Structure 1
């Protein structure tokens, strides 16, 4: 190969490299900034083929998609100076590639480090305002919401938008856990005792009202029965009197038979001297004397 051919080949290679370095492709999943001598000269390119100045301009590519940051804090102090361990995750994406590049110099590890520091500082601050009972109870959602708001404000300076912050796991030391759960059980037992006492009081009141109503009903029924019985006795006495007036002998005989039936049972055996007036119908001589 001659010298001219070698020179021509070198020129072709250089031209090809210059052409290659003057173009770049942006995919739908990327955010891109173009930097020249430390200054940003282009950003937010649409997906497709683009051109730049070779050698002196450099392309930085960032992921456009929502990304996940996970972490854990081994020691989180509550307002009671009790320890907790917290596992969390953060959903985030690059909202402003220019701010993102200026704050991180395009270094993804630096971005995650800054974001982690901000999230953990806010988590520590929120937990320090609450007791363990509040942290593991209803205040947990409030903690997450407050952390997301505060982290989002700090993340805007990094060109990052926070989509979500969640606490995956919240652990207590064994002794602290036992104490907290025992206290919660005691409180629940106190609530149960209060409700049971209220139920017993209501039951006693209901039983008292029922007993009072029963007494009133029985008294009214007794009065009505006595009144009815009195009316019946009066009517029976009138019937007896009328019967006596119509036939005194028959009335006396009927009443004596009735008395015998009520006084002497089927299995009774009586040995009596029939000389009394009650037995006049067993003694014909006595009956004849009574008739004279």
Structure 2
């Protein structure tokens, strides 16, 4: 290769380098700021190929997509001076690349640091207005909403739009957790004791009512049984009297048989006089002497 070809090759390379350095491509995922000698001369470029002055103009690229910032605060004081630890996340994106560049000089770490400081200061302020019960209860959504409004206003100065703020987890320090859990256990035990006492009192009352009702029912049943029994005895006596008046001899004979059946068992052994009145129907001589006596 002679000198002329070398010069031409060098010239082509220089031109190619100048052409390459004078163009830049913007993708749909990017926001671009064009800086010349420390001053912004262009921004909000559409996706595609664009031109710039080589060497004196610099392209700064930023992510257009929504990004996530996560963090945790180890010590958050409530209005009761109780400690909490808070884990949170923030969804954010670059809305104004010019403000973002001026505020952070295009340093993503600086942007995250400023955003983190704003979020944590607002969280500390909101938690300091509430008790632990409020913070972990319904007020949690109010805290998040208030922090998102305040952080969004501060983030606008950085060219950042805050999409969402969320609290992922609230924890108590171990010592505080033990105290809270012990108090919760004591409260539950007190509730249990109260319920048991109420249950015992109700059970005693129910048993007392049942015993009283049982006594009344038994008394009524006994009275009714005695009345029925008296009526039955009266009817039986009437029947006996009627039967006796119709045939006294047969009635005596029948009563004697009942006496034998009721008095003499299978294995019983009786020693009686054969001329006694009990055997008058088995001994005709006794029956004649007994006459109309009762069996």
TM-score range, shorter chain: 0.7 to 0.9
SS of the aligned residue for 1:88 comes to strand
Stretches of structure 2 that go unaligned for 5 or more consecutive residues are none
For residues 151-204 of structure 1, give each alpha carbon's deviation from its aligned partner in whole angstroms, at most 9, with x where no partner exists: 233223323233333444544333222111111111222233334344444544
Write out per-residue CA displacement over residues 204-246 of structure 1, whole angstroms, 9 at most, x where no aligned residue.
4554555555455545544544444344333322221221111
Q: Secondary structure at the match of 1:46?
A: coil
Paired residues for 1:207-286 under 5 Å: 207-208=207-208, 210-211=210-211, 214-215=214-215, 217-272=217-272, 280-281=280-281, 284-286=284-286
Alpha-carbon distance in 2 for matches of 1:147, 1:188: 35
The number of aligned residues is 291
How far is the alpha carbon of 1:93 from its aligned partner? 1.8
Whether the aligned pair in 2 keeps the contact of 1:70 and 1:88 (CA below 8 Å) is yes
Distance apart, 1:119 and its partner CA: 1.5
Q: Against the structure 1 CA distance between its residues 232 and 131, is the aligned structure 2 distance closer, same or farther, given a 3 Å change threshold? A: same
In structure 2, what is the Cα distance between the partners aligned to 1:77 and 1:17?
59
Measured at CA, do residues 77 and 175 of structure 1 come closer, stay the same or move farther in structure 2, by a change above 3 Å? Answer: same
Structure 2 Cα separation of the partners of residues 172 and 220 of structure 1: 67
* Equivalence for 2:42: 42
Per the alignment, residue 116 of structure 2 pairs with 116
Answer whether contact 1:132 1:180 (CA < 8 A) is retained: no
Structure 1 residues 117-126 or 35-44, which shifts more?
Answer: 35-44
Q: Which residue of the partner structure matches residue 156 of structure 1?
A: 156
* Matched ranges for 1:142-153 at <5 A: 142-153=142-153
| Structure 2 counterpart of 1:188 | 188
SS in 1 for 2:235: helix
Distance 1:277 1:83, change over 3 A: same
User: RMSD of the TM alignment (CA)?
Assistant: 3.5
Deviates more, 1:160-169 or 1:200-209: 200-209
Query: Relative to 1, partners in 2 of residues 1:82 and 1:287: Cα closer, same or farther, differing over 3 Å?
Result: same
Offset of residue 127 of structure 1: 2.9
Conservation of the 8 A alpha-carbon contact between 1:34 and 1:59: yes
How far, CA to CA, are the matches of 2:275 and 2:129 in structure 1?
111
Name 1:78's counterpart in structure 2.
78
Stretches of structure 1 lacking an aligned partner (at least 5 in a row): none
Q: 1:190 to 1:288 in 2, by over 3 A?
A: same
Distance in 2 of aligned mates of 1:272 and 1:138: 101
Shift, 1:26, TM fit: 0.9
Shift in Å, 1:111? 0.7
Distance, in Å, in 2 between the alignment partners of 1:253 and 1:130 is: 104
Q: How does 1:169-184 map to 2 (within 5 A)?
A: 169-184=169-184
Q: State the partner residue of 2:98.
A: 98
